[in-house]
Amino acid sequence: MLMLLLLLVPALVAGGTECNPRDFGADSVVCVCTASDCDLQGVIPVPGDGLFTTVTSSRDGLRFAQNTSPLESTPNPDADVSLILDHNTEYQTIFGFGGAFTDSTGINIATLPLEAQDFLIRSYFSPDGIEYNLCRLPMAGSDFSIRPYSYDDVEGDVDLVYFNLTIEDYQYKLPYIKQAQQVAHRELLLFGSPWSPPAWMKESGTFNGSGSILKEMWEPYANYFIKFLQAYEAEGAPMWGVTMQNEPMTGLEDWAWNTCYWSPEDTRDWIKTYLGPAMESAGYGDVQLMIDDHNRDTIPAYVLPCLDDAGCYQYVDGTALHWYADWWTSPDSMDETHNLYPEKYLLYTESCDGWNSGPDERVILGSWVRAENYAFDVLEDLNHWATGWVDWNMALSMGGGPNWANNYVDSPIIINTDAGEFYKQPMFYALGHFSKFIPPGSIRMASSVSGPGSGDVIAVAVHNIPSQTDVVIILNRGDSGKSVSVDSGSGVEFMNFAMPAKSITTVLFHEH
């Protein structure tokens, strides 16, 4: 199947192809993709000297609309919004952006005609698309599976003799990972996250519910991680990183789907005593190890015991975060955590919309509100030390599943199996403004926003050293258009342009 799909891939699209819009009654539209037609953003180069390019998506239906204009020697004195870039003040290096290869994502993709499957993978990963490079995958089952399972469900198999990848890996994860690797021009960075150990390793004897892993299983469970790393490496999909446990605090409750409680102190002791040494001795000392993998209202408290302990600190590379508490938690907690441990990065590893909506609104086809939620959160997180942002499921059904625990949510791509087509949500384009134009290795630089219309605006600026290019991404949450003036940082080159109401604009130009 893979060779057939590769033969279907045409040459790179130079200028992009048009969205085929469809209105489902929300505040914006989706772009419809079929086996024969799908919009692709194309290769969008940085313009030559003396020019800048804007790329805009909006509630009113723009999707990566491009415009190239000359730089000007003076700012617009009547601009609603003024931005000034500061190349002398730099912050974190960006790892990238992406989504998750869940079972549900693969199950849905597999229902499409092969040509439509190819369009979907290209849309996410190729230079024609939005160029995802950083992707998560559950280590065995999650709620976005059709059953709870682990890689060793043989009771008492502490030597992991029966450890094996499952049909889900071979049918719904690995094939699409390999397709993504084939079409991507950027290196695909994969990281695994466990939702639960094998049920027989836990106090409860179940995948869900509440409780911790049995302490006598700490060593076998560390070896379980090694087996996972070895298995995916053998399949041609080596891991860039792992997180220790998805949302470890959920195991304090009678949780409806796969979980396991890890206290901060047990996290510290397991990493320094078993997991860290096991990864080093097996040759995986360079695989990134991230802790927490929960909402930002857990930091810095959750990471303090581990990162204040030299034995644990030496094995931990960063802190993984989810967005679900961002609405009521200040990003100051990210600044505080960074300032305590500046050598350890912060990375957003899971986000989705619809999770807290009513049953009839888990999926809203064409919602610009959700695209704006995504863009605002990415911008806020980048401005508070996040090194990247990873979405949850890359594709779900019309009902936001499948999900064995009925925890349905929305996704940037929704698949209509009956029609053999898929819909690119406004969220897809919102994320694409970051993933396509902020390549890994870019460095965030200081920027300031002012002006009478700046209350509706949030922005971030990054610098890409190899190409000597700058990128500014601006979100206008206002119900009216804005005139914008960007000072490139030189004080003699300005970019003056208009932003529509409810829109995202990426600005591209060469640094001088």
DSSP E strand stretches across 271-338: 288-295, 318-322
CA distance 133 to 130: 9
How many CA atoms lie less than 13 Å away from 313 in the CB half-sphere?
11
Neighbours of 86 (CB within 10 A): 13
CA distance 411 to 364: 9
Lookup: tokens for 293: 């993998």
Q: CB of 83 within 8 A of CB of 484?
A: yes
Lookup: tokens for 303: 């990471």
Neighbours of 170 (CB within 10 A): 11
If we measure between CA atoms, which residue out of 219, 220, 224, 199 comes closest to residue 209? 199
Q: CB of 351 within 8 A of CB of 322?
A: yes
In a 3-state reduction of DSSP, which class is residue 500? Answer: coil
**Residues ≥6 apart with Cβ < 8 Å to 102:** 137, 138, 142, 144, 145, 392, 393, 394
Lookup: tokens for 166: 């499952």
DSSP E strand stretches across 325-426: 345-350, 386-393, 396-397, 413-416, 421-424
Of these residues, 115, 168, 247, 493, which one is catalytic?
Answer: 247
Of these residues, 350, 380, 421, 493, which one is catalytic?
Answer: 350
Identify the burial level of 218 via C-beta atoms within 10 angstroms of its C-beta, where 0-12 means exposed, 13-18 middle and 19 or more buried.
middle
Q: CB of 69 within 8 A of CB of 497?
A: yes
Helices (H), 285-411: 304-307, 310-313, 332-340, 368-382
Catalytic, 372? Answer no
Catalytic, 350? Answer yes
Lookup: tokens for 42: 């194309």
DSSP secondary structure letter of residue 377: H
Give residue for tokens 């995202």: 504
Lookup: tokens for 250: 């959920």
Q: CB of 141 within 8 A of CB of 258?
A: yes
Q: Which residues are catalytic?
A: 247, 350
